[in-house]
Amino acid sequence: MQEISPISKFNELFSELEDCDEDEQRQKIEEMNEIIDKTNGKEFISVFSEKLFNKINTMIEEKKLLWGNAILLLKHVGFWNILKAIWICGFEKSLLIKGFEKMIIEEEKKKEEKDENYLVDLCECYLMHLSLQPSELFSICVPCLLKFALKKEESKETQKEVEITLLALSNIDNYELKKELFLDEIKEIIKNHQEHYNLTRLAYQSVCAFLVNRFHCDYREMEDLIVNELHLVKEATREMEELISFEEYEGESEEEKEESEREADEGYILIRWLCISDDLFCCCGSWNEDILGLMKCVTGVYRATNEWCNQIGDHCFYCFKSVGRRIEGYDLLLKSGAIDAVLKELWRKTLYQDIFRDFLMSFANLWRSLDEKRDEEMEEKKRKVMKRKILERLEEEGFEDCINRFRYCVFVRYFDTFLTNGTGIYDVLL
């Protein structure tokens, strides 16, 4: 007998929800959530379409699905939507988003009858399923969730609830928010954790991500707070170093590791810290020893993980490219060992061809920037020193001619043709 696939099982359970009472619905949704935990990105996207969200909305309107049970499912979906960075768009196109907006506004307007926990659940689900569009309800959702996160008792039982709340807030991308909506509360949450370590790894990463997302909109005023007062450059470095060391799990048996309730998969959290690091490299006005320490850390993550996790390696490379956009960034790349790490990576025959091309393009752009004439005499001297050092690295690894051939190729688009036809760039350039 052929075994039923997880997606088919999920759809089967979903189709049975209409004919169940409240307790049976909850039990089936818990089974569905377990299936969600095991799905990959392609499967996840195939299930949570606009059609499914519209069906959920219809079931709620016809009172065949209770709001509480719908939230149990949607909150779990939202958690993985954000953590795995899958970005399903069906919710925003569906009628269900209007239902959530209506419920949030109605619950917020209540006075004595207001159910604060219910409003928190609605706001969490709503924010978790937004992708890249701003919302007028930020002014309701943000203060509501921050208030909830601050008043919760510091216990293991409530840590997961706070984690979900802060993860939902971190999904608000770099839209302008009025500082009075969040600033004092965010500072309090971050400082409290730095003193007492009361948040899970994911919760702390999420609250830092929320603040750094505001960096893009107001980087001149926010830099002193983020870099000097809250020390988030150092914090990002420390968190990533701990994540790749895995020292906290030494001495545990395999059985003990499985039984331990880990806050979330370390790889996803590491990628999220790399995204924060990329933002810090882009937005920080001055690069000091802390920034150098962060770049050394990113290089260490790259060396430690790139052979077994291409996704983590790619995010490290995004950081390298961000730093390389500024002339002073080349010195940072040299001192941190990033250029050496990238050059060593280029010799790996298993490297994806498009990544290989990106590496070469970055070096070509770097070379062009170093060839440009600068007005200030000191800057010109630094540029020449950096160019000499990078040239030495390229010569040592045997890539000088390769980079130059790539650089002076008239029709760079031909490399796409090579990829399409299966011709290896290694064979073309090396």
Output the pLDDT for position 353.
65
In this prediction, residue 379 carries a pLDDT of: 66
As a whole number, the mean pLDDT across the chain is 81
95 alpha-carbon distance from chain centroid: 27
Instruction: Provide, rounded to the nearest whole percent, the portion of the chain with pLDDT above 90.
Output: 45
- φ, ψ (nearest 5 deg) of residue 263: -65, -40
What phi and psi, each to the nearest 5 degrees, are found at residue 154? Answer: -85, 90
**60 residue type, one letter:** I
Amino acid at 57: N
Closest CA to 30 of 85, 4, 69, 66: 69
The pLDDT score that the predictor gives to residue 372 is: 63
User: In this predicted model, what pLDDT tens digit does every residue of 46-102 receive, in sequence order?
Assistant: 888 899 999 999 999 999 999 999 999 999 999 998 988 887 888 888 999 999 999
Element (H, E) at 93: helix 90-93
Q: How high is the pLDDT of residue 84?
A: 84
Q: How confident is the model at residue 352 (pLDDT cuts 50, 70, 90)?
A: low
Q: Give tens-digit pLDDT for 119-174.
A: 999 999 999 998 767 788 999 999 999 999 998 766 777 888 999 999 999 999 87
- Encode pLDDT of 399-414 as tens digits: 666 565 555 443 344 4
The enclosing H or E element of 164 equals helix 156-170
> Is residue 257 pLDDT above 60, yes or no?
no
User: What whole-number distance in Å separates Cα of residue 133 and Cα of residue 245?
Assistant: 37
The DSSP result for 6-41, as a single string, is HHHHHHHHHHHGGGS-HHHHHHHHHHHHHHHHH--H
